[in-house]
């Protein structure tokens, strides 16, 4: 029987509550599909920082390396100055564990409301592959004469060919695999005649950031030759945001830099029904990956058992998929969709959860039961 070592990292705010439900559902899937979990708890986060001044020590990174995956709740504390926990914990884990891909599926499930008029689940189903270790996030730059009228600040976007190539490789492989499982619905006659099964859109800014996205574009087309079944497409980042709203059905797989990826995936989360449903994976294909709901720590609802745990549950699905437990992952997705369509709930806001007489833990119980019965 397969046994996976999972580092549970609840973090701040509502992170612990939603992660409890996520792991409950993952455990239900483990019981049903015949594998087991060996979990360990890591309490890094805002509270610990306030107590000890410690964010994420190097020793924790070394500990994490011994796990098959990390399952994260949320990072962010209202009493801690922005940047400290983000950089000291979340970004440190991503960088030190070389999780160079941030994978964000944007999928509108039936039964979930999108703010986009006239769009449904058949229109909103794409995946963003965001580079996760370079760009403006490297922290290169500095400030001088801080706090004076002469203040100067720089923060430089950095891309190495190596870093771009490995992100592109992941994206092309991902697109190829996705297309092989189910050809992308947006392909035209000509594409089909050419044997295309998937589309990969490079989202950049080649009209202004000519050095940075010039590198991306050359690397994209050079590598693309090795993936004849993947149709290559390009969109500027500003236009991408427009099309997410107007024509989300135009996208299959998108690959982009860290900063643009950060921005467009929040928009992606909104069109798939909100931050409460969107999950992501920080992936090192050859190392330890970390899965998280992308919604944040929602401090004002901490400890109230009212927040929707769907994003954490779908992050659990992504984690099992990554570990190779494909059937278990699909079962979690199916159970989540069953809940969303059960008629038990009108929407996923705190108000709607309360009106339905549900709670964070009740939703977790229901979905875990659906997995067990499924």
- Residues engaged in binding ligand IPM (CB under 6 A): 86, 90-91, 262, 294
Contact range with Mn ion by CB under 5 A, out of 17-25, 105-113, 175-183, 254-262: 254-262
Closer of 127 and 367 to ligand IPM (Cβ): 127
Q: Does 86 contact Mn ion by CB under 5 A?
A: no
Minimum distance, C-beta of residue 199 to Mn ion, in the bound complex (Å): 24
To the nearest 10°, report the CA torsion of 227, 229, 230, 233. Answer: 110
Q: How many CB atoms lie within 10 A of CB 83?
A: 9
Minimum Å gap between C-beta 262 and Mn ion is 4
**Other beta carbons within 10 Å of 136:** 16
Question: Is 33:325 a contact under the CB 8 Å cutoff?
Answer: yes
Phi, psi of 4 (to 5 degrees): -110, 135
Q: Which stretch binds Mn ion (CB under 5 A): 162-170, 183-191, 261-269, 352-360?
A: 261-269
Q: What's the min distance (Å) between Cβ of 188 and ligand IPM?
A: 33
Residues near 259 by Cβ (< 8 Å), separated by ≥ 6? 135, 136, 137, 157
Q: What DSSP string runs through 48-86?
A: HHHHHS-SS-HHHHHHHTTSSEEEEEE---TTS-TTHHI
Beta bridge partners of 204: 236
| Closest CB to ligand IPM among residues 100, 339 | 100
Among 262, 284, 296, 334, binds Mn ion (CB under 5 A): 262
Instruction: Give the span between the Cα atoms of 255 and 167, in whole angstroms.
Output: 8
Count residues near Mn ion (CB under 5 A): 1
* CB 294, min distance to ligand IPM, A: 6
- By beta-carbon proximity to ligand IPM, the closer residue of 137 and 227 is 137
Ramachandran bin of 113, using left for φ above 0, alpha for ψ from -120 to 50, beta for the remaining angles: beta
Position closest to ligand IPM via CB? 86
Q: Select 217 or 262, whichever has its Cβ closest to Mn ion.
A: 262
User: Phi and psi of 212, rounded to 5°?
Assistant: -60, -55
**Cβ closest to ligand IPM, residue 86 vs residue 229:** 86
CB-nearer residue toward Mn ion: 98 or 262: 262
Contact 100, 167 (CB under 8 A): yes
Give the SS3 label for residue 27.
helix
- Shortest CB 113 distance to Mn ion, Å: 22
As measured in angstroms, the least distance from the Cβ of 359 to ligand IPM is 26
Least CB distance to Mn ion at residue 301 (A): 19
267 versus 330: smaller Cβ distance to ligand IPM: 267
Instruction: Summarize as ranges the residues that interact with Mn ion (CB under 5 A).
Output: 262
């Amino acid at each position: 029987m397969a046994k996976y070592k999972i580092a549970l990292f609840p973090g701040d705010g509502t992170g612990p509550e939603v992660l409890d439900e996520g792991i409950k559902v993952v455990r239900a899937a483990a019981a049903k599909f015949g594998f087991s979990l060996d979990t360990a708890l890591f309490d890094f986060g805002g509270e610990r920082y306030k107590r000890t001044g410690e964010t994420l020590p190097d020793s924790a990174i070394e500990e994490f390396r011994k796990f098959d995956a990390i399952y994260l709740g949320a990072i962010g504390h209202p009493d801690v100055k922005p940047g400290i926990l983000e950089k000291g914990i979340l970004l440190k884990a991503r960088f030190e564990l070389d999780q160079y891909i941030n994978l964000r599926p944007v999928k509108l499930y039936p039964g979930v409301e999108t703010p986009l008029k006239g769009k449904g689940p058949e229109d909103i189903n794409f995946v963003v592959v965001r580079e996760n270790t370079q760009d403006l996030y490297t922290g290169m730059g500095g400030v001088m004469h801080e706090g004076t009228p002469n203040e100067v600040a720089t923060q430089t976007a950095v891309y190495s060919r190596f870093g771009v190539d490995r992100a592109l490789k992941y994206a092309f492989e991902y697109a190829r695999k996705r297309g092989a499982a189910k050809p992308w619905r947006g392909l035209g006659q000509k594409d089909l005649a050419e044997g295309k099964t998937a589309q990969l859109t490079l989202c950049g800014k080649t009209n202004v950031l000519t050095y940075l996205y010039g590198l991306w574009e050359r690397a994209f087309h050079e590598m693309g030759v090795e993936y004849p079944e993947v149709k290559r497409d390009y969109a500027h980042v500003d236009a991408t945001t427009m099309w997410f709203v107007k024509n989300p059905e135009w996208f299959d797989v998108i690959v982009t830099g860290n900063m643009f990826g950060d921005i467009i995936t929040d928009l992606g989360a909104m069109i798939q029904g909100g931050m409460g449903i969107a999950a992501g994976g920080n992936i090192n294909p050859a190392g330890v990956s970390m899965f998280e709901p992308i919604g944040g720590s929602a401090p004002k609802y901490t400890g109230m058992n009212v927040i929707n745990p769907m994003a954490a549950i779908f992050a659990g699905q992504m984690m099992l998929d990554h570990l190779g437990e494909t059937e278990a992952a699909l079962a979690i997705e199916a159970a989540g969709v069953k809940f969303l369509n059960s008629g038990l709930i009108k929407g996923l806001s705190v108000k709607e959860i309360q009106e339905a007489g549900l709670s964070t833990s009740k939703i977790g119980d229901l979905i875990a039961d659906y997995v067990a019965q499924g």
